[in-house]
Amino acid sequence: MAGLKYMSGFGNELSSEDPRCPGSLPEGQNNPQVCPYGLYSEQLSGSAFTCPRPANKRSWLYRILPSVKHKPFTAVPCGDLTENWNEVEPDPNQLRWLPFTIPKSTEKKVDFVAGLHTVCGAGDAKSRNGIGIHMYTCNTSMVDRCFNNSDGDFLIVPQQGEILITTEFGKIMVEPNEICVIQQGMRFSVDVFGETRGYIMEVYGAHYELPDLGPIGANGLANPRDFLCPVACYEDRKLSTGYTVINKYQGKLFACQQDFSPFNVVAWHGNYTPYKYNLKNFMVINVVGFDHADPSIFTVLTAKSTRPGVAIADFVIFPPRWGVADHTFRPPYYHRNCMSEFMGLIKGHYEAKEEGFQPGGASLHSMMTPHGPDAECFEKSSTAELRPERVAEGTMAFMFESSFSMAVTKWGLQTCHRLDKSYYQCWESLRSHFNPNWRSSEQE
């Protein structure tokens, strides 16, 4: 949408007021006896009050009516959104999905919430420790209804079709190759402009943050200035027919009715906001000598666990870059990992598997499940001339990595009908190159 404005900075203390109501932010205090313009003050807390200052998250919203004014919540069907990790038996195999089907608008109108499908996950929203990975496939905008996640944060990765997200803090346009984070408790509605698809990584009990850079230094990877937050833009709408607020709470969906739009925030200030980021701004670091650095150098955002260096979830990308490593097998190495690796593809062809892994599809290599380049990639890269080359040009693959051993849902294994049961065959033609009589040139 042309004309949308943003403020920049990751986790910054920001303030915004709709220009239609100048002076709507109270001066010198958060909760005056009477707010400017007769507004209500409401605090949204994203952390415990007593969290250390660097981790303390909250925002103050100045709104036409407070969010407490609504009818009681009642349970509504969850569709394919679930936190039941035991509905089917575990599957330790390498899994790959063909592009997930987007419903045709001529057959059925499906909005963002109705189009949520849980693929895999682990943990528990009640104990505030876990992860859920979902797909969204939809074809129509949300009308007079919004979504609120009381369980955790949504990291949204559009793959097909831009989405306009209206939040209590303002509007955000998110296109493929951008991401958006809607943090716990923030109400939002999604407009789409055709058949739309994307990925979501949800975390319970932690918020996404920038990874520590260590010896990299002060600059690199995702720079804080490139994260964008919306500006205040209120709507003062009364709805005699009712406005529906959908609440994801303890893994279930509930709905309530109210007679006004929840996007009635005239001004706000704080450091707990939704935000977006364009993946093209990622400052890539790569090997300039030999061997591989681990893919952690491609981490955009992380949700830390209580164990140092171990993440509930990492969001990692594989962007266009230069490959220059000498006497090195350059594609990703063969691997067994104590982490779970869920991969998606926004566009292009993933370097280790140029066939089969398609935009809008996915793969899951579970904890300690072997994975790596297919046979064709191995043979080609083992004999390639090692000259400087562009890698992943026109491509954007990503990984949701987690320390949890994620279970796949019934929808992911069966109902979606997109599981590629021939995936294992891409390694079947790997052959032995072992030669017990081999001698290096130095030994001859």
Please state, as a whole number, how many other Cβ atoms lie within 10 Å of the Cβ of residue 195.
Answer: 16
- How far is residue 341 from each of residues 112, 256, 349, measured CA to CA in Å? 25, 37, 18
Mark whether 292 is an active-site residue: yes
Nearest to 161 by CA among 174, 180, 142: 174
Is 208 marked as a binding-site residue? no
**Euclidean distance between CA atoms 63 and 277, whole angstroms:** 27
Instruction: Please tell me whether residue 336 adopts helix, strand or coil conformation.
Output: coil
> What tokens does 51 get?
């969290």
Is 341 marked as a binding-site residue? yes
Choosing from 134, 207, 269, 292, the catalytic residue is 292
> What tokens does 238 get?
């009364």
- How far is residue 179 from each of residues 51, 76, 256, 258, 291, measured CA to CA in Å? 27, 29, 29, 30, 30
Q: In this structure, what are the phi and psi dihedrals at residue 209, rounded to the nearest 5 degrees?
A: -145, 165
> What tokens does 10 get?
């990751």
Is 134 marked as a binding-site residue? no
Nearest to 6 by CA among 193, 235, 173: 173
Largest CA distance in the chain: 89
> What tokens does 336 get?
């067994």
**Euclidean distance between CA atoms 123 and 309, whole angstroms:** 19
- Please answer whether residues 411 and 119 qualify as being in contact, where contact means their C-beta atoms are separated by less than 8 angstroms: yes
- How far is residue 28 from each of residues 55, 61, 137, measured CA to CA in Å? 23, 15, 45
Is 365 marked as a binding-site residue? no
Binding residues for Fe cation: 335, 341, 371
Catalytic residue annotation: 292
Binding residues: 335, 341, 350, 371
Binding residues for homogentisate: 350, 371
